[in-house]
Amino acid sequence: MNTKSVVAALLATVFMAGSSHAITLTNEDDATYQVEVVLGEGDGSTKQFALESGETLADVCTEGCTVRLDNGATQEFGGDETIFVEDGKFVVSE
């Protein structure tokens, strides 16, 4: 493979990785949480799932959404955060 091909492949990989925006949600607690994701801005579409201890879910939502835990924790997100559940609360990775 020539140098130009290698550089082109690397650039394509970087741009593809950089263009992906989606929430990743990881449960750092010992408890399993029931999670509800309200998609978009009030269109009413929801996703529900169980988030087990230590589990990570990718692509929870790709645009703005509201995430709720069954313990009452609720927060709005823009769609490109890495979020951890710690002590029953959302912690956004910096």
Q: How many CA atoms lie within 13 A of 17 on its CB side?
A: 6
- Quick check: is 80 in a domain? yes
Q: Is residue 8 a part of any domain in this protein?
A: no
Taking a C-beta distance cutoff of 8 angstroms, is the pair 35, 67 a contact? Answer: yes
Tell me the CATH number at 29.
Answer: 2.60.40.2890
User: Is 4 inside any structural domain?
Assistant: no
Per-residue pLDDT of the chain (94 residues; tens, 9 = 90+): 444 443 344 444 433 444 457 999 999 999 999 999 998 766 678 999 999 999 999 999 888 899 999 999 999 998 889 999 999 999 998 6
Concatenate the DSSP letters of all residues of 36-89 into one string.
Answer: EEEETTT---EEEEEE-TT-EES-S-SS-EEEEETTS-EEEE-S--EEEEETTE
At 7 the pLDDT is 38
Give the pLDDT confidence score for residue 8 in this predicted structure.
40
Query: Does residue 67 lie within any of the structural domains?
Result: yes
In a domain, 58, yes or no: yes
Q: Is residue 2 part of a domain?
A: no
Q: Is residue 10 part of a domain?
A: no
Q: 93: which residues sit within 8 A by CB, 6+ positions away?
A: 81, 82, 83, 84
Q: Is 11 part of any domain?
A: no
pLDDT at 43 (0 to 100): 65
Q: Domain range holding 60?
A: 21-92
Q: Note the pLDDT of residue 62.
A: 85
- How many structural domains does the chain have? 1
